[in-house]
Chains A and B, each alone.
Chain A
């Protein structure tokens, strides 16, 4: 192999890119990974949790070695209004069983670890370099261009994230549409491990995942999130771009208000803000997946739109790993046949279809649309839940009302039919 030629060049050192590179190098391919940031994980943002099932398959027992933060054993979902918060909490040892466990992570640390694994496997890591364009000859992608340098490869894998400019340059997709992406902002707030254990009722090394609907995103499609890390809390707000345009508050203001909400403020007391970051999140689901296979090229991870937001769970990193595995399988097969044509690489699509990546995306394909079409989730139900709870718990000395009657009053305000309809539509889209 000459100096300037690789079997595979991967653009992007996030989870999808790094895992693809790792799997290919492990099988003896000459692989280069180019990352724009000064280190892998420096440019991406995560809310905070990785479901381990997919990476567990590739690196069994990775969580023992990797710098994960806390094992999530406590799930909370809240409906939040300006003054109230109604929470459903679920804790179970089942959440922590190997294979179905999940972990809070800080990607700045986690991705560097993953990159070191790839490097150990033989990947040439090139950081601090932005790939400006692709070498395309007669419709075939032949490598990458960065500044004045050109490097060629049999196959180029685009793992350059949600706003994949390279896929766009190839004409595989257009500009992102406002309803396809959300914007997230996040703060990392430092607190001691002991304080976090106490405030979140967690055992050592275990943690909480907490999602909020309602006021955090100013009643628009989106929500708040909170994940406990070892010695910090990741706290943020996500809102779909098309909704954000209509909102009367900016996203940073939403986060400020969320932080000072009476249910959140005491949890953060004494904490020190360590990091502030923002990023786009692909939210279109199945319908957003662009063209992902071409002559000499594959698209993986966020760049391929592999992410789902279900409101009660947000998944992207396990899809990144899953799509990386499928891409690596396809490239290995293509390498054996020495055929990197789009026709041959279609096996990537077949591998994806067989894997949880496409199955899950297809299964939940109507959910993003449901969220968008059902504003009551964000601006109606949180208020209703809070009102019911207020009537239930706030004792004023006024004569009591029968519980059924009290509840029905609030339900009627919302419209019984609306609730039934939303419930039906919601369940059907799941």
Chain B
């Protein structure tokens, strides 16, 4: 059983800053694994642990995603190997192109029974790549999956819908997008981190992966943070009855 888990590399959310002109700055934000894809990797690893098999991590993106810390991070979470297309041609690609690039990687790996995706990415959360990848590979694709059980050649999945729990049976290979409540991603142990350093990572250029003619169709004109309301800078000092009263009055006035 070969399970492919897809992960996206995104800038670390908490280190993204807003500049005074409302521009978004990624300068201090290191690259990290999209949080939802940690659930995807964990789901793949748990399935392999329960049913036997091999987990492979795949990703596509700009050259910078080929980062040793990042790869070690993925490999310490269960996957035995990583395949990546890391090429600056893939900067700013849209979901359809991403799905196409992932398809190229999956086709190069050839031998797989299941492809897992996170529900959406931590940066854009378009929730498109999983379903589109299924379509491109002509495989059954299903999203919002919160539980997977494998049984000979099939997957029995649960989808938590608004008012009901849907249980479906789909034939493999398939592409499944999992929700963030499917599991709690593990914290890798000392030995797992150590072992990750010895696992293999294969990095391809867009040419290597046969998608050399792919180029970004999206151009970002600008990304701005929402306008912040100016602080009133009205400070009430002290803890006397009077100060508290004036504080409450001020709040009441604003709420009116």
Contacts and interface: CB of A to CB of B under 8 A. Distances in A.
A320 interface: no
Interface stretch (A68-76, A124-132, A378-386): A124-132
Interface string A131-162: 00000000000001011110100000000000
A6 to B, nearest CB: 10
Nearest to A148: B189
B230 to A, nearest CB: 16
Interface in B167-197: 187-191, 193-195, 197
A126 B194 contact: yes
A151 B187 contact: no
A151 B191 contact: yes
Interface in A294-334: none
A235 interface: no
Contacts of B191: 4, 149, 151
A150 B29 CA distance: 34
A34 interface: yes
Contacts, number: 29
B193 A127 contact: yes
A129 B197 contact: no
Nearest to A126: B193
Chain B interface SS verdict (over half): helix
Nearest to A145: B190
Contacts of B188: 128
A32 interface: yes
Nearest to A34: B190
Contact of B194 (A124, A147, A148): A124
Contacts of A3: 194-195
A146 B190 contact: yes
A235 to B, nearest CB: 20
Interface residues of B, number: 9
A133 to B, nearest CB: 12
A207 B197 CA distance: 40
B194 A128 contact: no
A146 B194 contact: no
A280 to B, nearest CB: 25
Chain A CB count within 10 A is highest, among B188, B191, B195, for: B191
Contacts of A148: 189
B189 A32 contact: no
A147 B193 contact: no
A146 B197 CA distance: 18
A63 to B, nearest CB: 22
A126 B198 CA distance: 13
A32 B197 CA distance: 12
B197 A124 contact: yes
Interface string B157-170: 00000000000000
Contacts of A126: 190, 193-194
Nearest to A147: B189
Nearest to B198: A3
A250 to B, nearest CB: 16
A147 B190 contact: yes
Contacts of A34: 190
A4 B192 CA distance: 11
Interface string A227-262: 000000000000000000000000000000000000
A4 B197 CA distance: 14
Interface in A259-300: none
A149 B190 contact: yes
Contacts of B187: 128
Contacts of B189: 129, 146-149
A18 to B, nearest CB: 15
Contact of B193 (A4, A128, A144): A128
A126 B190 CA distance: 7
Contacts of B193: 126-129
B52 to A, nearest CB: 22
Contacts of B197: 124
A121 to B, nearest CB: 14
A159 to B, nearest CB: 16
A388 B187 CA distance: 61
A315 to B, nearest CB: 29
Nearest to A146: B190
Nearest to B28: A274
A32 B187 CA distance: 19
Nearest to B32: A38
Contacts of A128: 187-188, 193
Nearest to A109: B28
A1 B197 CA distance: 16
Contacts of B194: 3, 32, 124, 126, 151
Interface of B: 187-191, 193-195, 197
Given A32-B194, A151-B191, 20 more contacts: A3-B194, A3-B195, A4-B191, A34-B190, A126-B190, A126-B193, A126-B194, A127-B193, A128-B187, A128-B188, A128-B193, A129-B193, A146-B189, A146-B190, A147-B189, A147-B190, A148-B189, A149-B190, A151-B190, A151-B194
18 contacts: A3-B194, A3-B195, A34-B190, A124-B197, A126-B190, A126-B194, A128-B187, A128-B193, A129-B189, A146-B189, A146-B190, A147-B189, A147-B190, A149-B190, A149-B191, A151-B190, A151-B191, A151-B194
Of all A-B residue pairs in the complex, the 6 with the closest CB atoms, nearest first, are A146-B190, A149-B190, A126-B193, A149-B191, A129-B190, A149-B189
